[in-house]
A and B are shown apart, each in its own frame.
Chain A
Amino acid sequence: MKTHYVNPLVLDPRSFPLVRPHITCVDNEVYFGSCRIARVSEAESNFLKECDGRLNLADVAGRAGVDATCVTLCAHWLLWWGGQVAAAPPSPPAERLVFTATHTGAWLGMGGRLLLETRRRRTAVVTCFGSLGESRFVEPFPTLAEVSMAARDEAAFVARLSGVEQRVLNFPDHTLRERLEASGRTASEEVPGALRSALLEVINAYRPSQIFAPAALGDAPDGRLLFETLLSLFAEGDIEGELHLFEDEPAVRGHRGVDEFLSSFEGSYLTPHEYYVDVTASFPEKASLIDVFRCTADRRAAVPWLQSAERNAALGGDAAARAERFWELNLASF
């Protein structure tokens, strides 16, 4: 198997350029987060202002009066999308809810499916832990607040690209919970109960026919807490629709722990039914999301989950080149 990374340097007049979420142009200076990275001309600045996904490159170039050199100089700050990007998310209530621990989890785990199906199935992605986030960059995002804001911008950006509705709950993530516990804060003990109440409230507000949650594969405390909370709501009948599980990090990077995960259902009245979704068609778009998650993700880090999609396709056994793996929870028949 050979893994290709999608070429980001596409300069197709028919594609729709968007300034990446971490790039800002202020007074003809271009910043990555808080760091100034370049000075641009008035023409380049005007061009960047037009790159919001509503016009294709040919139209933007015509409107901003720029030439190919200008486009080339700005190209690396842009994400190139295959279709026009809607200005606002769809208004009808979502019928599918995707809960994710981190803002990248759902997209790395089931982004191909989301991109394929969102337009025919209204979807809301709910990011549950929004306090810290992580960034591999220190200078551009020097405070925890700025990392959190960058993560929120990434989430909003990808929601706009895909047409999903985006919600962010602000529960402290496991790193912050550990720090709170170390400093004697009792409120951190309230997180599981509060998370349960908040999830129930979201579910009751949407009444979705399908709910997706991260499978508790590997050691990801926030994903595991989210999984266990939703599983208990499902077990107690608070979830009326279907409950599906997707492969979150770190499993999606190859550290799977699937056997251990499946063995946790032995003797349970719930049975996970494994299935695969062919995401070959949407995979180039999914791969390009790595540039959206630039604050947290690295192109090199994308390779394992690209390989994971190929491995899933092989496991799925049909003609798909790339697939994502899911489990639907059903009542066991004894």
Chain B
Amino acid sequence: MLLIIGWAGAEYGPGAREFLPAAVAGLCAESTLSGCLAALPAETKEKEWLLNFLSSVKRVTSIPAGVMVRAAVVSADDLVACDTFGLDEVVIIQDTADPGAAIDAVRTYRQERAGAMMRVRVWFDEAVRGGFQAQACAWKHDALIDDVGLTPFASQSPEIKGDGGVADRQPLSCEWLRSTITVTPSGEVVRCPAQLPEHGRADTAATAADVIARHASLRETAGSSPVCRSCYRLARFVGADVAVSSNEARPDMPRIAAVPQYRDFVGGDLRSFSPPEQGAAVASLMARIRALNSEGSS
């Protein structure tokens, strides 16, 4: 089971420093965990603490550990530090912010740590809508990151609301809940990142046993949650092993022809016309170009 700690933005205060080591040690002792992904905090000392903690988790338990960080705040120093502490991966969550600085950070990190094994991947937030390919292209070709995908949960305000009035007791299965434990740094156990509280509540877990008990309770009562019932996220149906794991290559698809079909040039476009239409299209195009030249740009 994957342990998710926070999502976009998290604080690791005294409560977190008490809760997380005890909880993770207990969960690992019971062989419950297969990996750990934690939100990187903004504050330097908290960051140091988290990286130290994840490093020790990895060293002691051998489970993969990584951090999630927003593209708007990631720096080359962050990436170098994660590599220094031996983390397995960094997930950069890209929202509508300009990716330029984050791409530069990755390039700088790659220059400083040529040959580093730490995996860097990018998840695009829903807010990028309409610009996914432009962002993906920039990341793939400027930062040489091939592992790009959609984030399983929005980093900004969750869209799933539920009407609050439905209290259906029918059982409901959720692959995300089956495959992950999601906690806040201070120990609140929640069903998924879409249900992280804006402000912490007092009702927090203190030990691994508490975490497991509360997680089991959440699984049993998922049917009573209107938020779960109206959830349309893919993560609910495929779970973390698909939604959070590496992007799956497409199943074998028959290619239309040996010639690469992506060459989207005028000649290719014209091939879909009949010969008379081709001639007419070219003539029309040239006439319009001449007209444009003679009109100027006004």
Q: Hey, which bits of chain A sit against chain B, CB under 8 A?
A: 5, 7-13, 21-24, 26-27, 29, 31-38, 57-59, 61-62, 67-69, 71-72, 75-77, 128, 130-131, 135-150, 152-153, 156-157, 160, 166, 168-172, 176-177, 180, 185-191, 193-195, 197-198, 200-201, 204, 294, 299-300
Among B130, B261, B272, contact of A137 (Cβ-Cβ < 8 Å): B261
Does A72 contact B133, Cβ atoms closer than 8 Å? no
**B130 to A: closest C-beta gap in Å:** 3
Q: Which residues of B contact A193 (CB under 8 A)?
A: 229
Residues A13 and B247 in contact, CB atoms below 8 Å apart: no
Total residues of chain B contacting the partner, CB 8 A? 67
Q: Does B44 belong to the interface (CB within 8 Å)?
A: no
Complex Cα distance A169/B160, Å? 10
Given contacts A9-B284, A166-B129, 18 further A-B contacts (CB under 8 A): A9-B266, A9-B285, A22-B264, A27-B141, A31-B141, A61-B292, A69-B289, A130-B234, A142-B250, A149-B133, A150-B133, A152-B130, A168-B129, A185-B239, A187-B239, A189-B173, A201-B230, A299-B269
Number of A-B contacts (CB under 8 A): 205
- Contact between chains at B297 and A61 (CB < 8 Å): yes
Smallest CB–CB gap between A283 and chain B, Å? Answer: 18
CA distance A29 to B141 in the complex (A): 10
| A37-B262, A170-B232 known; A145-B292 Cβ under 8 A | no
A317 to chain B minimum Cβ distance, whole angstroms, is 30
- B131: nearest chain-A partner, CB-CB: A153
Asked whether, in the complex, the Cβ of B133 is within 8 Å of the Cβ of A22, the reply is yes
Q: Are B272 and A7 in contact (CB under 8 A)?
A: no
A72 to B134 Cα, complex, angstroms = 23
Q: Are A34 and B137 in contact (CB under 8 A)?
A: yes
Q: Which residue of B150, B231, B288, B298 is within 8 Å of A11 (Cβ)?
A: B288
- Chain A residue nearest to B152 (CB atoms) is A170
Complex Cα spacing A130 to B239, Å: 16
Instruction: Give the CA-CA distance A157 to B264 in the complex, in Å.
Output: 19
Q: Which residues of chain B come closer than 8 Å to A186, judged between CB atoms? A: 173
B234 and A131 contacting across the interface, CB-CB below 8 Å: yes
Please tell me if the beta carbons of B284 and A190 are within 8 angstroms of each other in the complex. no
Q: What's the minimum C-beta distance from A40 to chain B, rounded to whole angstroms?
A: 13
